[in-house]
Amino acid sequence: MSSNNNSKVAIITGAGTGVGRSVAQRFLTEGYQVALLGRRQELLEETAAGTENSLILPCDVSQPEAVDTAFTNVVNKWGRIDVLFNNAGMGSPSRTIDETPIEDWLKVVDVNLTGSFLCARAAFAQMRRQDPQGGRIINNGSISAYVPRPGSAPYTATKHAITGLTRSLSLDGRPFNIACGQVDIGNAATPMTDRMTTGVPQADGSVRIEPRMDVENVATTVLYMAELPLEANVQFVTVMATTMPFIGRG
């Protein structure tokens, strides 16, 4: 168990599956008090199984009242928030923009962008007023925060926007000892990337299988970011399957 986290309090969104589950379980193992946010309680319970330092909070991050209630419950239980991992996100089927239903756009924006804004807003407010003041917000960007996959306008647009949110929070957090960084993940082995094992569209029109990496590599990276003293910050970090098509994609 880590000796330097002093039972810090972390909130992880999208904690029921994939990256969120892996990061949450690593933080729990390292002795953090961890609030698990996600839409499905049964999946959050699976993530938290056998742990005593977790708090299960079913929450739709796109809903302002639900977010405020969840964050209030965390503070009521543990008194503060030290880390937010803004992880909840979703994609949509691969389509050109003219074939993308407006409903798909709105759903992706609601979760990926508005949800991240709402959670960061709630965390920032608490971190600003707590004693000792400050904390760390870690946003889950994506390789798509830099380059798109074919037919991914909603997802790519929101992930580019997350970079703007990260930069704004980094600047606005300075007077309050609030650090903000972004982890950009490429092809972590989770249910969301299972399709890559059978082939996904490439920029040249082909369909190819892509390599993936163990999702535990993401958990290691996020934990490293969280464990830094607030005088230091990982502003942006990319952790990805080494031979995936990113460098030279397209």
Contacts (Cβ under 8 Å, ≥6 apart) of 200: 149, 207, 208, 209, 210
HSE-up of residue 20 (Cα within 13 Å, Cβ side):
29
Q: Cβ(182)–Cβ(141) under 8 Å? A: yes
Rounded to whole angstroms, the Cα distance separating 231 from 240 reads 27
Give me 244's structure tokens.
């995936």
Q: Which residues pair with 235 in a beta bridge?
A: none
Distance CA 214, CA 227 (A): 21
Is 224 marked active-site? no
Catalytic residues: 155
